[in-house]
Structure 1
Amino acid sequence: MKKIIIVSLFLLLMPTVVLAEDVQIAASIEGEELLVFVDDKQVNFPDQEPFIDENNRTMIPVRFPTEAFGAEVDWVQEEQKVVTKNQDREVKMWIDNNIMEVNGEEQEMDTTPIIKNDRTVVPTRFIAEALGVDVDYERVSYIAEDDSEIVSDNIGIVFNFTEDQLESEIEQLKEDIMTKVKDNLPEIEVPEDPADAHPALDDYNLDYEVDKKYIDELGHEDTTLHEPNELQGLSAYMFYDGWTEEGRQDAARILNRRLQDMDKVNEIMDYVENEGMPQTFERFETDSYTIRIASDLLYIYEK
């Protein structure tokens, strides 16, 4: 599962950033993506991307974001030391050393700066907080499509604030960035033909999100999807109008996401069309699922 981490440093605009309206997200399924923002601006990294280290810390090349918010960065080769300064703080870090100094006082980190691809890479939270930046974090899950298969991804959003702002202003900034990021995320293409429905992900919550997208984009006005219940093995639960072609298509898409067997789906929907009655359930069995269906309700239980 790929994770995209977004680090947002609420700071001053410098030449290494681009407008958030032009937010760039590499939507490939391979690897791990990290996005860094300064205020509502995205920082570009020309030769070494941020990453998550073995201690689960977000690591960034120190020069680009620190220079972007007006701090000076110096490298002392003989000491393998990086020094960052702003108006009232001086931060010293050493390669492969978990001790840093802030205005001469030692502080311990739970990871260490390193050299990677000839860049000095430091832990985001420690350098940001040492320079007086407040840090906040959000995570967003989303779904994407890769070779007609659905995969799930996460975006971790780390917000860092340096300016005195009202709480409402901070929340609005966060919301604006998250909205712009979401607007640039890849989307799945919902197929009209139930035979082309994406296979289930074996994750109740993510499958529910996919099902919702199916209903939101193609669903009949009377179709209502309800949340699954993993404890009961209830994979899908929906109200639909089985007396309309559109309603039966909604049910067929949700069914075939689980069954991946259109012969069985057609058997079930033929029953609904020709014999189904409201609140009168018929039971169908497959190797993996039990289906209870009436002309207005569908329950899909995982065995």
Structure 2
Amino acid sequence: MADDCVRQGFELERRISELDSKCASLRVQKQDDDYLQNASAILDKLKNYYRQGGEGSSLPKLLQDYTQVILDITFYEENQLVDQEFPEDASPYKIQQLLQDLTEPEMLAGRLAPTQEVTSVLGLELLECLYWRRGALLYMYCHTLHQRKQWIKKNKATFLKCLQEGVRYLLRMLQVRNSVKLSDIAVCHDSATADLLSEGIFSDTHLLTLMYIGEMCFWAVKYEDFSLETAGWKEERIPFRDIGTQILHKYVQLCEGPLQGQGWNTENAKEILSILQ
């Protein structure tokens, strides 16, 4: 047990050191970036913890701070890709690297705290954010690719795999918290809030996730017939049409029900539904 604790400490300390070097390198490019500054401040705190002998902080707290550093650094890197409009040559590698970075906290929590649920180690909000960020990154990438018709003609299978992976991440984000039962939300002062919570909508991001999933499923339906026989893809593919229809129906019902009059637009969702159904 003692050896395991030492090993865990070394692994996390090594990763923190690697992230510190990466953050310092990125700050050379943009010293005043808020996200890099926040990541640097957290890294200083983590390094100080290890300099003092690694006492006084729990493993979950260390992993949560580490996860926040990952989120901040990758957000800066994502913004660079968006600003560059996802260059064709560099984007595939960079996106895979970002997805791997955003997957690591969950994997690391599983290795370093194998007897605990990842949700109890990282917390619901951080775990949701990790899934959201991966799904949203692929949504933005696919949104750009969707406008490159010639590229899609040559890379349909790649496009569909990106869509499928993105939809899966966003669905996982929605599943991190189980839908709240009405009996558990007696503290709510209005029925609209109760309806949203009972549908698993805890924030604007959750609602936006529904629209992202619907759009990605729509893009996939437009092209999936061309690539059904792609080796290894047919058996794994998800039912884009069914999922898109179900998710967008939910989005429209929420926007025109408990969220009516709060600025959520349903025109695009309804247009997509008219095609999917």
TM-score (norm. length: structure 1): 0.23
- The structure richer in helix per residue is 2
- The structure richer in strand per residue is 1
TM-score (norm. length: structure 2): 0.25
Computing the radius of gyration from Cα coordinates, the structure with the larger value is: 1
